[in-house]
């Protein structure tokens, strides 16, 4: 069924480029320039409900965002808050405006040699000022979208998207409604402002000297003054951004995020996340093409309590055998409760059934060390992968001191050597800042 508007016509809109806008220079009143171009024979050609799509370059020029820069890379550095991905000289970064884009939006085209053009300092504020200026000059209430060119993940080519907006419904949240078949819409939020900018770019072009487009026929996307959220609402929050980093950058951040966490929330741990971390552990190097890792996952509270009670009893017996006072034993047992407070435990075990036999102790010891090192590499992969899942962890050595007890409680083969236990859960608080370490202090070059 073809829906119709209130006047009986099928839905539709028009979009055209606005001619007559001169070269913009710093200090120009952009609203007046656009108003003049949108007036013919003293009559404004804009109507209430129109949307103007304005290229960010002319906004930047009017606001004096043209800066001298012999080296464009230095300007990109100044505008960068966070590097998202880097491939050779190409950088995808988050800039000062919170936008993730190539080269922080620093543009060396359409600007005099030896200068670069920065994005508007606050594109939403620029859009609000432009909307107010046009209302004052022409007496019309229009929506404003400030556009810039973006590449996109998963898609070839570039398109224009909204980086600033005023008086426009930037997002159309359809969640809670139904589709044409009555199915509930649970995830559909339309980026209306981006669709408007893409439509405008089809008539503005990239090198035609037509920096402003008019979209007419969609008055429902124009908001009352003061009601819109601006284009900043289009920026996905870090918590919801599943693609916040490039591949190598994500690996480095996960390594950095790997911290020993000793206090956990009560939230349940996703077993699938732990199994994905186990899969990462299995990619570590190992001697003789072996796989010396085994992981015992304690997913029930009963299994965790049974193991930890037995380990505690064994530890207390060892301490008493050493002549430790009861007060000191109680204190040390309290300090060792990290594993008990975690909602999930994993016990990594080493197997050496692929080791070579040697007649002398020296080579036999080296053979075992190879397996221990490989097992440590697997555990590091495991911990880093957990950090990538936003799970905290603490690798505690305690099972190594009572291996027979652990094997007995967990019913493990004699050849499995428990190599500590890993407490896993959502961190109860943000970790403290880690003191920086200069790589050069740990390097010797020969």
The greatest distance separating any two alpha carbons of the chain, rounded to the nearest whole angstrom, comes to 103
Residue after which a domain boundary falls, among 196, 217, 240: 240
Q: What span, in angstroms and rounded, lies between the C-alpha atoms of 211 and 148? A: 11
The CATH number that applies at residue 25 is 3.30.1330.100
Question: What letters, b where the CB count within 10 A reaches 16 and e where it falls short, cover 178-187?
Answer: eeeeeeeeee
Residue after which a domain boundary falls, among 188, 214, 240: 240
Q: Is 128 a member of any domain?
A: yes
Q: What span, in angstroms and rounded, lies between the C-alpha atoms of 380 and 258? A: 9
Residue 287 Cα distances to 188, 362, 374, angstroms = 51, 17, 7
Q: Is 369 a member of any domain?
A: yes
**How many other C-beta atoms lie within 10 A of the C-beta of residue 232?**
17
CB 190 within 8 A of CB 196: no
Helix (H) or strand (E) holding 155: strand 155-166
CB 344 within 8 A of CB 299: yes
Question: Cα 78 from chain centroid?
Answer: 21
Q: Is 85 a member of any domain?
A: no
pLDDT at 227: 61
Q: Is 161 a member of any domain?
A: yes
Say whether both 322 and 223 belong to one domain.
Answer: no
Low-confidence ranges of the chain (pLDDT < 50): 1-6
pLDDT at 2: 38
Q: How many CA atoms lie within 13 A of 373 on its CB side?
A: 9
Say whether both 161 and 189 belong to one domain.
Answer: yes
Tally of residues, the chain: 446
Q: What is the residue range of 326's domain?
A: 254-442
Q: Is 8 a member of any domain?
A: no
pLDDT at 9: 57
Closest residue by Cα to residue 395 from 258, 215, 218, 283 = 258
The CATH number that applies at residue 411 is 3.40.109.10
Count: domains in the chain: 2
Say whether both 305 and 198 belong to one domain.
Answer: no
pLDDT at 1: 31
Over residues 228-262, the pLDDT tens digits come to 679 999 998 887 888 888 877 777 777 777 888 88
CB 117 within 8 A of CB 107: yes
Closest residue by Cα to residue 385 from 293, 279, 260, 271 = 279
Say whether both 278 and 384 belong to one domain.
Answer: yes
């Amino acid at each position: 069924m073809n829906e119709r508007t209130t006047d009986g016509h099928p839905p539709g809109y028009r979009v055209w480029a606005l001619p007559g806008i001169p070269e913009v220079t710093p200090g120009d009143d952009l609203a007046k320039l656009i108003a003049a171009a949108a007036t013919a024979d003293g009559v404004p050609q804009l109507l209430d409900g129109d949307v103007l799509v304005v290229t960010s370059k002319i906004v930047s020029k009017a606001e004096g965002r043209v800066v001298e820069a012999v080296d464009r890379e230095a300007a990109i550095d100044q505008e960068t808050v966070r590097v998202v991905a880097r491939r050779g000289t190409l950088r995808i970064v988050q800039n000062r405006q919170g936008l993730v884009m190539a080269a922080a939006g620093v543009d060396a085209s359409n600007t005099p040699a030896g200068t670069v053009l920065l994005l508007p300092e606050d594109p939403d504020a620029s859009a609000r000022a432009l909307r107010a200026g046009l209302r004052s000059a022409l007496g019309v209430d229009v929506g404003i979208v400030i556009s810039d060119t973006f590449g996109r993940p998963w898609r070839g080519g570039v398109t224009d998207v909204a980086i600033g907006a005023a008086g426009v419904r930037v997002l159309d949240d359809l969640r809670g409604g139904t589709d044409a078949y009555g199915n509930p819409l649970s995830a559909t939020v339309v980026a209306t402002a981006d669709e408007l900018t893409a439509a405008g770019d089809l008539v503005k072009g990239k090198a035609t000297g037509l920096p402003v487009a008019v979209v007419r026929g969609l008055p429902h996307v124009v908001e009352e003054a003061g009601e819109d959220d601006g284009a900043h609402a289009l920026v996905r929050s870090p918590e919801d951004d599943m693609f916040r980093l490039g591949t190598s950058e994500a690996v480095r951040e996960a390594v950095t995020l790997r911290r020993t966490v000793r206090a956990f929330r009560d939230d349940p741990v996703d077993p699938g996340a732990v199994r994905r971390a186990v899969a990462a552990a299995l990619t570590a190097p190992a001697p003789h093409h072996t796989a010396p890792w085994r992981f015992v996952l304690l997913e029930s509270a009963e299994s965790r309590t049974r193991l930890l009670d037995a380990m505690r009893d064994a530890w207390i017996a060892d301490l008493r055998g050493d002549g430790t006072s009861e007060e000191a034993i109680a204190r040390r047992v309290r300090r060792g409760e990290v594993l008990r407070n975690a909602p999930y435990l994993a016990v990594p075990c080493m197997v050496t059934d692929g080791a070579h036999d040697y007649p002398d102790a020296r080579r036999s010891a080296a053979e075992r060390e190879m397996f221990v090192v490989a097992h440590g590499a697997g555990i590091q992969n495991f911990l880093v992968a957990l950090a990538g899942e936003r799970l905290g962890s603490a690798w505690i050595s305690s099972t190594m001191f009572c291996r027979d007890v652990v094997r007995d409680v967990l019913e493990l083969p004699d050849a499995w050597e428990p190599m500590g236990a890993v407490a896993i859960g959502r961190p109860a608080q943000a970790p403290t800042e880690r003191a920086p370490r200069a790589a050069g202090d740990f390097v010797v070059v020969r």
